[in-house]
Amino acid sequence: MRNQRQLRVGEEIRHVLAAILMRGDVPWPRGFLPSTVVTVTEVQVSPDLRNATAFVMPMGGQNMPETVRGLNDVVGFFRHEIAKSVKLRYVPKLQFKSDNSFEYAQKIETILHDPVVAKDLAPSDED
């Protein structure tokens, strides 16, 4: 269970990362050309505020591994920008990971629409 401070700091870092990606001044690694817009869906911060995991999703889910690798290659740039924007004693060690919540939601949706499961979810005539 995350406390209020972790949630607030995570949300602040998410806003900073989103603004950086929107500006488009990320020094991408040589040979990497971001072909899509990247969305930062969530940032989870450790209880001591020293580590942060940013979950990202490229538009359409295309080139996910390459995008995450490219972001992790320039993580120092993002930490520097976070240090300028967010007032914290320590700038969290940042790691980017792919956000699989959309795939998980789609999987749940598919299960719920399965005819075998749907009959259990339908209101019964006995009520």
Q: Report yes or no on 124 lying in a domain.
A: no
Domain ranges, residue 9: 4-100
CATH classification at residue 81 = 3.30.300.20
Q: Report yes or no on 59 lying in a domain.
A: yes
Q: Report yes or no on 25 lying in a domain.
A: yes
Q: Report yes or no on 117 lying in a domain.
A: no
Q: Report yes or no on 116 lying in a domain.
A: no
- Torsion, CA 39, CA 42, CA 43, CA 46, rounded to 10: -160
Q: Report yes or no on 87 lying in a domain.
A: yes
Q: What is the pLDDT of residues 73-116, one digit of tens each?
A: 999 999 999 999 999 999 999 999 998 877 777 888 888 878 88
pLDDT band with cut points at 50, 70 and 90 for residue 35: low
Structure-token pair, residue 34: 């971001």
Q: Report yes or no on 111 lying in a domain.
A: no
Cα 44 to Cα 22: distance, rounded to the nearest angstrom: 20
What's the number of domains the chain is made of? 1
Note if the pTM is more than 0.85.
no
